[in-house]
Chain A
Amino acid sequence: MIGTLDPKVPPGPLDQKWRNHQDHSRLVNPNNRRKLEVIIVGSGLAGGSAAATLGELGYRVKCFCFQDSPRRAHSIAAQGGINAAKNYQNDGDSVYRLFYDTIKGGDFRSREANVYRLAEIANNIIDQCVAQGVPFAREYSGYLANRSFGGAQVSRTFYARGQTGQQLLLGCYQALCRQVASGTVQMFPYTEMLDLVNVNGQAKGIITRNLRSGKIERHAADAVVLATGGYGNVFYLSTNARGSNVTATYRAYKRGALFANPSFTQIHPTCIPVSGDYQSKLTLMSESLRNDGRVWVPKRKEDRFKAPGEIPEGERDYYLERKYPSYGNLAPRDISSRAAKEVCDEGRGVGPGGRGVYLDFADAIKRLGVETIRERYGNLFEVYKKITGEDAYKLPMRIYPAVHYTMGGLWVDYDLMSNVPGLFVIGEANFSDHGANRLGASALMQGLADGYFVMPNTLPNYLAGQMGKRPSPESSEFQEAENSVRARIEKLLKVNGTRSADSFHRELGLLLWDKCGMSRNEQGLRQALRKIPELRDEFWRDVRVPGDQEDYNQSLERAGRVADFLEFAELMCIDALERDESAGAHFREEHQTPDGEALRDDESHAAVFAWEFQGDGQPPKLHREELHFETVHLAQRSYK
């Protein structure tokens, strides 16, 4: 069905592609916009900003979120900041440099034109957010302040204390509220998308379940936009919110959308270590802490049980500063995470189970005073104290890598449209901008770029040809999709076994963390590929989902999501096996440099791997989008 994957990158020099594309895309006149309906699933930075902006333009928007309010989407938990190439610090920043850092940070596995557009738009985002009243940090002069983040040698990150995601999301939520009040956007909270409906090969609607009443509904539209975030919770323990899930994108995959690079999952280096079996999630300590904190472990294994204060300076190994002198503690996430794993594997990890490294603020406190540190990171220190009971002003924090973000997602072209016409995918849910590793402070940038500035310019290009083509929700395609949703729910309720969905989820997570986590190898991936179907079979034999369909049934919600994770996990491992190279966060042990860095294979793997569903129990089909680098030179990524 699918021919060659055409990313539809506009012609012309890199820095003029976006302008040229805007100049030549089709438009919808204001009177016609109110006749067109757009479904947006998700209300985080990408979905919320897209819904608000398309509403402002006059389209009729229906926005869905599983949370009880759009303001609770998981973007709210982002801490550190958002990048832009304003060069307010006069430290040599430029659009090109932001573009280059992002491409390099992604280990040359993303599409040049998309990344360049992102870097170009970044400055507009800051303007937009300031105009909305986002209270970014300021200098005494009243000008905006910046901080540094990993993978960059300039200071280009804008922030609102340790709650940047919250403030950006609230800005976008408020813009959304304004459109709800004006009647252009209709909100559907506590509503989950359970299937995509294609009519004549085009995405024309969704099937949803109201989580509180259990009511299954059909929604038809002229286009569908998925902004449903990442799938990090496939690992069970991650920094994602409990509800974050793969269901919307996975259902779209089963309806023909290609899933790209699913094995590219980011493990964030600075999280609070796991403390117990019943732990339900992991908490991130913002990367911004690495601006002032120094990461170390004892040089000698024997010292790991000593109190940190008893280990003299000379007996400490500041391993990031040692291995990567030019970036030091600000080395990118994939590299810092692997370095932490390595020292813990050597037996030098600290804390319970030896899975932790110190992030030490003693020097920064000495240099800047406790007040400055409190002002910069006070809320993070409080969170740390709540969870661990320890005071990081006095003792170094203990941190360890945890699953945080997924670079993989549904395949999209330059317009952010998937291979299914009419299905757009934005934010973390798509694969497009971060390659094999995302740099800090660029997820917020991408979400808002897609919603505020890309969607309003590319969606009309499709919608212009769709006037009067919206199908009736009574059509057979909707009937078929609703039937399959109902059948699946009934099947879940009928198993009536002995184990909770959570217990399967936890088991799946442990397996993936072990075999498809921070490092992977062929043997481990093959083992996982044997075990996942077994676990899935057991799930469908022995899961217990109490209660009914037509009720507020949280067990049913979770079971449906876990069932999808159990299928999706297999796709992830297949992709990790097929990508027989190391790239960014995807570290195949078979492919490393003599000093243990990721070794790419540009000859045969400078491509996006996009997978097509071929039916249950059938192996998916691989489509490749070759990546052509016209501007950057592919180099061994060095942060030394």
Chain B
Amino acid sequence: MTAPSVIPSFAQDDREPMNFKLKIWRQRDAKSRGKLTDYEVRDISPDTSFLEMLDILNENLLQARGEPVAFDSDCREGICGTCSLTVNGEAHGPDHPGAVCELYMRKFRDGETITVEPFRVGAFPIVKDLVVDRSALDRIVQAGGFISARAGSAPEANSILVPKHDADLAMEAAACIGCGACAAACPNGSAMLFAAAKVSHLSFLPQGTPERERRVLKMVQVMDEQKFGNCTNTYECEAVCPAKISASFIAKLNREYARAQFRQRLGE
């Protein structure tokens, strides 16, 4: 068998397994104090995903009659937004753009010490270990992040024309996976990028026009009530967003908000 060197994945089989030191945040429940605890994992293939590495750690802990580390994940392909880890101080770890489930151990150095913490946001209380409660994001959408289109009442789809440019912009904003990394990366714990993505998605489309003002006013109001911080344009959110949501949508939200307030004052 002569393995050519031009295809990296063939060569990957020959690469050395890696060892890592881990510092992982352990916290019994919302009320307890948490702390970083040291662990080690050995013989990890570089093609192991970060979450699979944690699976291996948990398997080891179980064998040693310890308690596995609680962490959230579901689709493990970067779309459901369930996973939510801060790795070495960065929301979703060092391989942006991407959710932490899309992070692979080949991105780390052999022997490296890796710190794993939950998303730290005032509005996301810790549930256990690395799991946080992000229901505040649902409440922002409930406030008005929708178009009220009763099933059964829709007109023929092609009767609503949407210029491709607008449809593309709406899609770029709608791609948000709702993970909350934007708030975790923000020094103020602001969910502005999350809210802006939804406001932008719906206001780029003609279908979203009738509820345009009401939507932005309500969503911003509820976002403030949920104890998220304010946006001070640090752009950290954009840097960690796994769905590449542009911070320019925040400007769009601000314009929409100003417009809505103005029209409200005019009594329109």
Contacts and interface: CB of A to CB of B under 8 A. Distances in A.
Interface of A: 49, 52-53, 56, 67-72, 74, 76-77, 86, 88, 124, 126-133, 135-144, 160-161, 163, 166-167, 170, 173-175, 177-178, 180-181, 187, 189, 212, 241-243, 275-276, 278-281, 283-284, 305-310, 351-352, 383, 386-390, 395, 398, 452-453, 456, 498, 500, 502-503, 544, 546-547, 552, 554-555
Contacts of B151: 49, 52-53, 56, 128, 175, 452-453, 456
Contact of B76 (A132, A141, A242, A307): A242
Contacts of B13: 352
A56 B152 CA distance: 11
A581 to B, nearest CB: 35
27 contacts: A71-B178, A74-B75, A86-B158, A127-B155, A127-B156, A130-B154, A135-B174, A142-B161, A144-B157, A160-B171, A177-B138, A177-B145, A180-B142, A181-B143, A212-B127, A241-B76, A242-B73, A276-B48, A278-B55, A306-B4, A307-B6, A309-B6, A352-B12, A352-B13, A383-B78, A500-B62, A554-B68
A144 B98 CA distance: 29
B149 A128 contact: yes
A535 to B, nearest CB: 18
A136 B51 CA distance: 32
B133 interface: yes
A140 B164 contact: yes
A127 B157 CA distance: 4
B28 to A, nearest CB: 9
A177 B142 contact: yes
B266 interface: no
Given A163-B175, A452-B151, A555-B68, A305 B102 contact: no
B146 A177 contact: yes
Contact of A143 (B72, B133, B161): B161
Interface in B1-38: 1-4, 6-10, 12-13, 29
Contacts of A212: 127-128
B170 A135 contact: yes
A160 B67 CA distance: 42
A144 B137 CA distance: 31
Q: Which 8 A-B pairs have the closest CB atoms?
A: A142-B161, A174-B146, A131-B154, A131-B149, A127-B154, A135-B171, A135-B170, A241-B74
A296 B147 CA distance: 45
Interface stretch (B111-119, B201-209, B233-241, B254-262): B201-209
A552 B143 CA distance: 29
Given A135-B171, A546-B67, A281 B77 contact: yes
A534 to B, nearest CB: 22
Contacts of B156: 127
B163 interface: yes
B55 A67 contact: no
A130 B207 contact: yes
Contacts of A167: 171, 174
B104 interface: yes
B76 A280 contact: yes
Contact of A552 (B47, B74, B127, B155): B127
Interface string B47-84: 11101100110110011011110101111111111100
Interface residues of B, number: 88
B104 to A, nearest CB: 7
B138 A69 contact: yes
B183 interface: no
B167 A351 contact: no
Contacts of A305: 1-4, 10
B148 interface: yes
Interface centre among A53, A135, A137 (most CB of B within 10 A): A135
Contacts of B47: 275-276
B104 A307 contact: no
B144 to A, nearest CB: 8
B232 interface: no
B12 A133 contact: no
B141 interface: yes
A281 to B, nearest CB: 5
Contacts of A136: 167
Nearest to B140: A177
B52 A86 contact: no
B95 A386 contact: yes
A468 B245 CA distance: 50
Contact of B167 (A138, A170, A308, A502): A138
A280 B51 contact: yes
Contacts of A241: 74-76, 80
B131 A56 contact: no
B227 interface: no
Nearest to B82: A72
Nearest to A52: B151
A352 B10 contact: yes
Contacts of B58: 500
Nearest to A79: B79
A166 B179 CA distance: 13
Contact of B135 (A49, A69, A170, A242): A69
A180 B143 CA distance: 10
Given A71-B178, A138-B167, A167-B174, A132 B55 contact: no
B44 to A, nearest CB: 8
A282 B7 CA distance: 21
Contacts of B150: 56
Contacts of B72: 68
Interface string B81-110: 110000000000001001000101010000
B141 A173 contact: yes
B197 to A, nearest CB: 11
A160 B164 CA distance: 12
A138 B164 contact: yes
A140 to B, nearest CB: 5
A135 B3 contact: no
A178 B155 contact: no
A131 B135 contact: no
Contact of B162 (A142, A308, A383, A503): A142
Nearest to B29: A552
A170 B7 contact: no
A88 B145 contact: no
Contacts of A86: 157-158
A128 to B, nearest CB: 5
B134 interface: yes
A390 B47 CA distance: 12
B145 to A, nearest CB: 6
Nearest to B44: A278
Given A68-B133, A456-B152, 4 more contacts: A86-B157, A180-B138, A241-B76, A500-B63
A280 B52 contact: yes
A133 B55 contact: no
A243 B74 contact: yes
Given A132-B147, A135-B171, A307-B6, A546 B68 contact: yes
B207 A133 contact: yes
A63 to B, nearest CB: 12
Given A56-B151, A389-B106, A67 B3 contact: no
Interface centre among B51, B138, B148 (most CB of A within 10 A): B138
Nearest to A554: B70
Given A131-B155, A132-B149, A388 B9 contact: yes
Nearest to A395: B7
A174 B77 contact: no
B246 interface: no
